[in-house]
């Protein structure tokens, strides 16, 4: 089975981020356990949206889960504040909520993996003027 589909897509997603020159940008991720492997591959801390902090590995016994994508959008909006650089958003599920304050563009998705949680959706995010 893993000859057809890889176990995880984290390495390929990280390589994409590096090849696109996005690893030097501000990177936000949702679901710490899912985005931590990408942080390791690109050797850079990622902003964990749920915990409102940067990290490369997050070991928190008290997990925080956002129940609605609208909560996620609000946290992203707060996190990027007045950042003029590109903001890279990594999620483990597609974003289905829109927001007039943010311009969110999906640039790549990696869905074909055995490990369902490690499917990646990569977006560019910036504030709307």
pTM of the model: 0.88
- pLDDT score recorded for residue 125: 94
- Whether residue 110 contacts residue 14, with contact meaning beta carbons closer than 8 Å, is answered with no
pLDDT in tens, 96-105: 877 778 899 9
Cα separation of 67 and 82, whole Å?
A: 26
- Domain segments of the chain as ranges: 10-127
CA distances from 39 to 17, 29, 31, 57, 74 (A): 11, 10, 12, 8, 23
Beta-bridge partner residues of 53: 48
Q: Is there a contact between 18 and 42 (Cβ–Cβ < 8 Å)?
A: yes
Kindly report, residue by residue over 9-65, the tens digit of the pLDDT. 899 999 999 999 999 999 999 887 788 999 999 999 999 988 888 988 766 666 666
């Amino acid at each position: 089975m893993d000859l057809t589909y890889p176990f995880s897509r984290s390495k390929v997603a990280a390589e994409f981020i590096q090849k696109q020159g996005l690893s030097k940008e501000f990177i936000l991720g949702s679901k710490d356990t899912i985005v931590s492997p990408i942080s390791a591959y690109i050797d850079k801390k990622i902003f964990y949206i749920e915990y409102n902090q940067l990290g490369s590995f997050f070991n928190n016994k008290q997990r925080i889960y956002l129940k609605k994508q609208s909560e996620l959008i609000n946290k992203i909006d707060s996190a990027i504040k007045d950042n003029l650089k590109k903001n890279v958003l990594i999620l483990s599920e597609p974003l289905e909520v829109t927001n007039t304050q943010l311009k969110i563009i999906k640039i790549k998705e990696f869905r074909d993996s055995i490990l369902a949680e490690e499917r990646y959706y990569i977006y560019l995010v910036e504030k709307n003027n």
